Amino acid sequence: MNPRNWSFRTRYLAAFVVCAALMGFALYSQYVMHLDPCPLCIFQRIAVCFMGLFFLIGGLHAPVKRGGRATYAVLVTLGGLWGIATAGRHLWLQSLPASEVPACGPGLGYLFDAFPFMKMLKLAFTGSGECAKIEPILGVPMPGWTLIWFVVLVVWALLSLRRGIR
């Protein structure tokens, strides 16, 4: 069962399963490990869901023509780039010295209710003290793991385009 011989459909459905597993672990870490997500964590979850949605649709549709496959790859890549940017920003906030960490701000729900969308995004990406808290899993902080998975999934989506049409 060599992944290089998998069809476009199989590759995209396998990537959807990975996205579902990542979301499952995010929920497990929230409700069982009691690691409450900060606003940047929530944006990373949205990126995983966005990618998973287009992996699922692409896998179920399984277009025969290269243009259809490229459309799904572009959509997945856009979600992945959003996730890479968010995880990178999160890791940067975590790398700040304690004296430079921003003060804890309001939760994402309050930001959505109280501010226009662009202002809410700016405030969320500015980060807060809760975003700088490091909770390592196997020695790597959570945004480090998500960054790795975003890169792997984007590369997977783009490599799926190289496969010849059956």
pLDDT digits (tens, 9 = 90+) for 125-153: 655 555 666 777 788 888 899 999 999 99
H or E segment at 141? strand 140-141
Q: Residue 123 — pLDDT band, cuts 50, 70, 90?
A: low
Instruction: Give the C-alpha separation, 99 to 95, whole Å.
Output: 11
**First-to-final CA distance of the chain:** 17
| CATH 1.20.1550.10 for domain 3-159 | yes
In this prediction the pTM is 0.80
Q: List the domain boundaries for the chain.
A: 3-159
Whether residue 23 is predicted with pLDDT greater than 70 in this model: the reply is yes
Q: Residue 165 — pLDDT band, cuts 50, 70, 90?
A: very low
* 49-53, 102-106, 107-111, 118-122: which is most confident: 49-53
Whether residue 159 is predicted with pLDDT greater than 70 in this model: the reply is yes
Q: Residue 43 — pLDDT band, cuts 50, 70, 90?
A: confident
Model confidence pLDDT, tens digit, residues 62-74: 887 888 889 999 9
Name the 3-class secondary structure at 6. coil
More confident residue, 122 or 34: 34
pLDDT at 105: 58
pLDDT at 103: 56
Instruction: Give the C-alpha separation, 74 to 82, whole Å.
Output: 12
Tokens of residue 119, six digits: 């202002």
* 3-12, 97-106, 147-156: which is most confident: 147-156
Q: Which residues contact 109 (CB under 8 A, 6 or more apart)?
A: none
